[in-house]
Chains A and B, each alone.
Chain A
Amino acid sequence: MGNYSFKTTGLPEPVNGVVEGHNFTQGAPHTAIYTGQTGLTFRNCNLLNCDVPAGSVVEFCNRGHVSFCSHLHDSWLAHARISACAESCTHIIHADAIIIDGVAVDTNYYREDKVVE
């Protein structure tokens, strides 16, 4: 068991080719881990936003890729684990204009992390 979130170096050595029970969540989609290694099996790992080496066996792992919105993850942004989004980023799902006396003075944005292929 280990938390290797946002790390691509210093990852645990496979044991007999098996990497088991770790959290490898990455900040950006399609981040390569264990680059250059072959014959690996990932078991019971969290592989969100990870690309494992081609030919790896993946068993009981959480997979998928998501674009994190930095407006929703300020502590990750503060530690440079994800990149800063623009104010009008693609994660906005809804916007409410704040109107006072008929004048739009500000906007409330509603955002969400986006699933990506």
Chain B
Amino acid sequence: MTTRYVDPAAAGDNNGTSWTHAYQTMQLAADNAVAGDIVYCRGTETLAAAVDFDTNAGSNSGGYIKFIGCNSSGVVDGTRYVLNGNSAGIHITNWTTTAKMTWMENIQAQNTGAGSKHGFYASADVRGCVFINCCATGCSGSGWYSNGNFEYGWCLRCVSYSNSSCGFMGGGLKFLFCNAYDNSDKGFVVIGWSDFAIGCIAHHNDIGISMYTYGQLSMNVVADGNTSVGVNVVAGTQIAPSLLIGSRLTNQSGAGDIGLECNGEPFLLGWNYFEDNTDNIHDETVALTYLLKADSATLGKLGAGETDTNQYNQEDNNEGYTAAVASHNFATNYVDGTDPTARRIPIPIPWTTGT
């Protein structure tokens, strides 16, 4: 295991052996680091081409190849190493099949320039990559773009904002405690088999979260203030139904104003909170949406007057609803009000509140 260093301002031998002799580019580190190596990075790097991860790979026996951002003193404190595309019309990073098991921590990708270019991009299948406290912003494409290529990948506490397409375009990526906001298209696209978003927040995107109904789970997510739809369940070919559990869908405002749009087929939801959406659940009957019922272990098809475990603030929902559930009290843990920070606190895991 070798420790390596990247600092674009380093003036030494630039062989990566210390901060003094650090590589000046992440590309050099990516081309030289092998399984088990840790690469510490500090500063801001302006790119003329994408950083290609196409040479070396982590392994089960040797471990990840880790790239970890540091502050200017070389301390790992959450400060991100910045990869700036400088509007050059490039992807910021690009993985191919070779570079499996890459670990990215405290890395920021920004300013791709035009051309549907992405921040963290896999152009071919690559397995087992991990992103922790990474950030993507100012991309003409998506912040993260997998579309099936980041297989068995994870995003933990990552943020993606102000991108011209999606915040996180999944497909193989699982999302834990991530945040997507101010993106022109979707915040999260949860699309791969058994992919999930847990404890994530999507606000002020066009659509908060899109689920493509391949047996996915969104749990304890918040979709707030998105322009069109909070959570959109997209029609597809289903074998296993997807689930939306313990989530907060509030304040969608603009074209659509829909809390949950059910374009898919069998879909399960329960223990969610709806407020200030013009239409809480749209197309539920067409989509065969099922509610997890509060008073029974059975599943019931959504219908007028149905008792369900989802809670609706009837005063604020224009759609209204006949089935506010007094027996299931979210209010204990729900912080209402105009404070957007409070509004975006994920509600607790449903079964901890009892039914």
**A interface residues with partner B (beta carbon < 8 Å):** 1-3, 5-6, 21-23, 25, 44-46, 48-49, 60-66, 73, 75-76, 79, 112-113, 115-116
Contact = CB atoms under 8 A, between A and B. Distances in A.
Interface in B148-192: 161-164, 181-185
18 contacts: A2-B204, A5-B164, A6-B184, A22-B162, A23-B161, A23-B184, A46-B137, A49-B114, A61-B87, A61-B138, A62-B162, A65-B114, A73-B185, A75-B185, A76-B206, A79-B228, A79-B256, A113-B115
A79 B255 contact: yes
A46 B138 contact: yes
Contacts of A60: 84, 110-111, 138
A62 B113 contact: yes
Interface residues of B, number: 32
Nearest to B254: A79
A110 to B, nearest CB: 14
A23 B162 contact: yes
A23 B115 contact: no
B289 interface: no
A112 B228 CA distance: 24
B114 A21 contact: no
Contacts of A23: 161-164, 182-184
Contacts of B184: 3, 5-6, 23, 25
Interface in B116-171: 116, 137-140, 161-164
Ordered nearest first, which 8 A-B pairs have the shortest CB separation?
A64-B114, A62-B138, A23-B162, A5-B184, A3-B182, A25-B164, A63-B87, A66-B114
Given A1-B182, A5-B184, A62 B116 contact: no
Interface in B75-114: 84-85, 87, 89, 110-114
Contacts of A1: 161-162, 181-182
A48 B182 contact: no
A48 B185 CA distance: 14
A46 B87 contact: no
Nearest to B203: A3
A46 B185 CA distance: 13
A66 B162 contact: no
B51 to A, nearest CB: 17
A3 B110 CA distance: 17
A75 B206 contact: yes
